[in-house]
Amino acid sequence: MGSVEYKGKASELLIENDIKIGQSINIQTNNGKYSGILLPRYELFDDNHVVMKLRNGYNIGINLTKIRSIEKGSSDSQYGAYIVGKASHNVNQTIGRPNSDQAKVEGTLPKVALISTGGTIGSKIDYRTGGVTSVLSASDLYLSVPEISRYASVDTEVLLNEYSENLRPEHWTLMANKIIEKTSMGIYRGIILSHGTDTMHYSSAALSFALRNIPIPVILTGAQRSSDRPSSDAALNLIGATKFAIESEYSGVFVIMHADASDNLLACHLGTRVRKNHTSSRDAFESIDIKPVALINGENIKMQHNPTLELQRREDANYSSYKTSFDRHVILLKYYPGFEPAIISYLVQSGYKAIIFEGTGLGHVSNECIAQLKQAINSGVMIFMTSQCIWGRVNLNVYDTGRDLLGIGVVPLSDMTPETALVKTMWLLANNQHSGDIKRMMQENMCNEISSISPIQLDKK
């Protein structure tokens, strides 16, 4: 969290009267007298107002010009401390009932590790921006979703506290290493990673490659409604993730989120085949070109038939050495009408080693680009082709443009999603020397990111 102090004139007034955030105050204005607690001021707002929480619970802002006097209130509120983050967490204040048998049961329940990286699943108000930020720790979360304790004994750890849009490939490495560390302890049946939703599918793809052959399931989950609201989807997603972590016969990297707008059904997606397809709805995550690997309805986990997938059973996972580095010199580029071909040379000059195109339709860019692309390839930059259609497979043999692209050495990536293609390239670049190997491996299926058959899908669930 950034600064939550007052600035400018407001700050002067408060210092003059020796008043700090969280203290109870009385303000006399031209029109009335108001008592309450001084709240922090959102950093992005002006310095002409003082914000307070009145006794009735409402927050209001009072313009400095209307304040005749401001003074400390008689009683210092216990709540004030909480606002400035000094209150100790009150463990009794959880919604679960204290369970005296818990300790006894814990020993017999399977163990799961819950690693928190931030995001809406653990967020509450941020006085810096006025929006929500991630501050709840994984252990807070465990306390507020006591149902989890029915299925598993959960060890929690806060690894990061970031919105997912702030995550970088280094963070994927950090996550992967942490998961490897936990896995190698040999005591966990599965690992849950709570994650901001915006880039969760990039992380799930990254972890799929970095944790190839991991012997336990790793489940990413998050929330589309922040966990500070009663309607948050966080609880159900977490409960489902816990159940799957324990009961799944398969290992690998998965994403579990709501399957529809109701709080009943969850979908478990494969880490390399999932995408966030809605800005705000609970069921924003969808499996692309395949069905979700499982649907979770209450106590019932139903594996779905996907003829082309090769899921790995826990016992079959043969651990080798994990490769957890990523090379950032890859760009994901969307082609559009009016696209300026000179951008390609610019990217080559900027040191990019690979370009993932989101081409139109079957994987096309305009013929104006051919010359620039040819130059790029000649100078050693790899050009991969995916489609901005999201669903479906690229095919460069159908039209002339496609054949031209193939001719100059553009590599089509079948039905891989553009995001997964980006991440896979970053991973291969970091762990391989020769571009020939990389090009070959990009077209090979490593983590179910490519399938040879496009199933007829009448119902996307």
Partner 1 sequence: MLTNPLAINLKVGLEIHQQLATGTKLFCQCDCNENEEYTLVLSRSLRPAQSELGIIDPAALFEFKKIQSVKYHAANRTSCLVEADEEPPHHVNRDALESALIFSLALNSDIFDEIHVMRKIVIDGSNTGGFQRTMLISMGGFIEVNGKKTGVQSICLEEDAAKLISDNNNLREYGLDRLGIPLVEIALEPISGTPQEVMQLALGLGRILRASKRVARGIGSIRQDVNISIENGRVVEIKGVQKLEQLVKVIEYEVIRQHGLMIIANILKNERGIAEIRIDNRIVDVTDILRASSSKKILESLKDQNTVYKAIKIEGFAGILGYEPYDKIRLGKELSQIVRFYGIGGIFHSDELPGYGISKEDVDNIGKKLAIRSRADAFIIIGGILANVSSAIESLIQRLEVVLEGVPAETRAATQSGETVYIRPRPGSARMYPETDVAPIKVNNLLLDPLRQKIPRPIEEYITELISNYGLNKKLAEEIFDSQYLNLFGKIVSSTKISPTFIASKLTEDITNLERQGYDSSILTQERLIEIFNELDHGKIAKESVTLLYQMLMNHEIKDLNEFESGIETMTEHQLEEEINGILCKHLDTIREKGMNSMGMLMGRTMAVLRGRSDGQKINAILKRKLEQIVASEKQ
Interface with partner 1 (CB under 8 A): 29, 31-32, 34, 42, 45, 49, 51, 53-63, 66, 79, 82-83, 87, 89-90, 93-95, 124-126, 130-132, 144, 224-232, 235-236, 261-264, 279-282
How many CB atoms sit inside 10 A of residue 152's CB?
Answer: 23
Please, what's the b/e burial string for 233-247 (b: 16 or more CB within 10 A of its CB; e: otherwise)?
A: bbbbbbbbbbbbbbb
β-pair partners for 352: none
What spatial distance separates the first Cα and last Cα of the chain, rounded to whole Å? 39
Question: In 167-299, where do the E strands start and end?
Answer: 190-194, 217-221, 250-258, 265-270, 274-276, 285-287, 294-297
CA proximity to 303, closest of 291, 311, 293? 293
User: In the complex with partner 1, which residue's Cβ is closer, 128 or 323?
Assistant: 128
**What is the rounded distance in angstroms from the CA atom of residue 389 to the CA atom of residue 393?**
9
User: In the complex with partner 1, which residue's Cβ is closer, 105 or 261?
Assistant: 261
Task: Compute the least distance from the CB of residue 152 to partner 1, in Å.
Answer: 19
β-pair partners for 37: 24, 53
Please, what's the b/e burial string for 46-57 (b: 16 or more CB within 10 A of its CB; e: otherwise)?
A: eeebbbbbeeee
User: In the complex with partner 1, which residue's Cβ is closer, 94 or 325?
Assistant: 94
User: In the complex with partner 1, which residue's Cβ is closer, 141 or 330?
Assistant: 141
* The token pair that represents 450 in the structure block: 């490519």
User: In the complex with partner 1, which residue's Cβ is closer, 77 or 117?
Assistant: 77
Task: Compute the least distance from the CB of residue 10 to partner 1, in Å.
Answer: 12
β-pair partners for 154: 112
User: In the complex with partner 1, which residue's Cβ is closer, 54 or 342?
Assistant: 54
User: In the complex with partner 1, which residue's Cβ is closer, 2 or 436?
Assistant: 2
Strand, coil or helix: 7: coil
**What is the rounded distance in angstroms from the CA atom of residue 423 to the CA atom of residue 308?**
22
- Close Cβ partners of 241 (under 8 Å, ≥ 6 residues apart): 192, 219, 221, 256
**What is the rounded distance in angstroms from the CA atom of residue 285 to the CA atom of residue 269?**
8
**Which residue, chain included where needed, has tokens 């915006």?**
198
Task: Compute the least distance from the CB of residue 362 to partner 1, in Å.
Answer: 33
Alpha helix ranges (H) inside 311-411:
342-349, 370-378, 400-408
Task: Compute the least distance from the CB of residue 49 to partner 1, in Å.
Answer: 5
Q: What share of the chain is helix, strand, coil (3-state, %, to 5)?
A: 30, 25, 45
State the virtual CA torsion across 401, 442, 330, 454 in degrees, nearest 10.
Answer: 60
User: In the complex with partner 1, which residue's Cβ is closer, 49 or 111?
Assistant: 49
CA proximity to 354, closest of 448, 407, 417, 428? 428
Task: Compute the least distance from the CB of residue 73 to partner 1, in Å.
Answer: 15
Task: Compute the least distance from the CB of residue 242 to partner 1, in Å.
Answer: 16
Task: Compute the least distance from the CB of residue 32 to partner 1, in Å.
Answer: 5
CA proximity to 283, closest of 265, 300, 301, 305? 265
User: In the complex with partner 1, which residue's Cβ is closer, 175 or 234?
Assistant: 234
Q: Checking DSSP bridges between strand 250-258 and strand 217-221, what pairing results, if any?
A: parallel
Task: Compute the least distance from the CB of residue 439 to partner 1, in Å.
Answer: 42
Positions annotated as catalytic residues are 120, 197-198, 276
Contact 460, 286 (CB under 8 A): yes
